[in-house]
Amino acid sequence: MLPRVALPREAGALLRPAELFTPPVSKVWLEIGFGGGEHLLWQAAHNPQVGLVGCEPFEDGVVKVLNSIDAEGLVNIRIHADDGRPLLRLLPEASIDRAFILFADPWPKKRHHKRRLISGETVGELARIMRAESELRIATDIGAYACAILHGVLGQGGFSWTAREPNDWRQRPADWPPTRYEAKALMEGRKCYYFRFRRA
């Protein structure tokens, strides 16, 4: 299954991401670190006109998604079975209509902060590849990381925070399905933060 849905790794093959899908799609969404794939699969099933690119370096999550693609007959998912950050550098400008980073590893120890997915470099690449008015969704269950996310994304200058009241970031929207990581966090009594940013 993987060769059928694997994303090409050559920059030239990614110049028009929407053309990687058959039948054609009207928009392309990107999820970096899809974990068990619950969110990726839900979005693909509920948005058949959208092409979903999912990045995940861990084999267990990739295998689970491949099995579901096969069982459910999903044709609008492409898989990058690796770290998503190098892929960002290959994607063309203004080619992504929505991006998701959900419950990424917070790397809580200060000496490990440089390993965090949300960094100035990553946010800058996201700003480059995302279309104007597109949406970046980020979730975490770690308060200190939530602050770092807000600082990192808003400090880059390419995004605005869409929240108007506390419930806008305390409650998950209806079109944002839960993941197993979120369920584990809530079971252990941690608060979850659901951020939505608009590309300028």
- 126 with 101: CB under 8 angstroms? no
CA distances (Å), 17 to each of 7, 93, 167, in order? 9, 11, 34
Q: What is the pLDDT of residues 91-129, one digit of tens each?
A: 999 999 999 999 998 877 878 678 888 988 999 999 999
CA dist., res. 172 & res. 194, Å (int): 6
Report whether pLDDT(11) > 90.
no
Give kind and range of the element (H or E) at residue 196: strand 193-199
Model confidence over 16-74: pLDDT tens digits? 999 999 998 999 999 999 999 999 999 999 999 999 999 999 999 999 999 999 999 99
Domain edges within the chain = 2-199
Q: How far apart are CA 144 and CA 190, in angstroms?
A: 12
Residues 133/198, Cβ–Cβ less than 8 Å:
yes
Residue-wise pLDDT for 126-153, tens only, equals 999 999 999 999 999 999 999 999 999 9
- 3-class DSSP state for residue 137? strand
Catalytic residues, by residue number, are 105
pLDDT tier at 9, thresholds 50, 70, 90: confident
Q: Residue 151's pLDDT is what?
A: 94
Residues 155 and 124 sit within 8 Å (Cβ to Cβ): no
Would you state the pLDDT for residue 108? 75
In the CATH hierarchy, which fold is given to the domain comprising 2-199? Rossmann fold (3.40.50)
Tell me the helix, strand and coil percentages in the chain, rounded to 5.
Answer: 40, 20, 35
What pTM was computed for the model? 0.95
CA 116 to CA 151: how far, in whole Å?
13
3-state secondary structure of 103: coil
Question: What are the phi and psi torsion angles at 31 (to 5°)?
Answer: -115, 125
Distance CA 127, CA 198 (A): 10
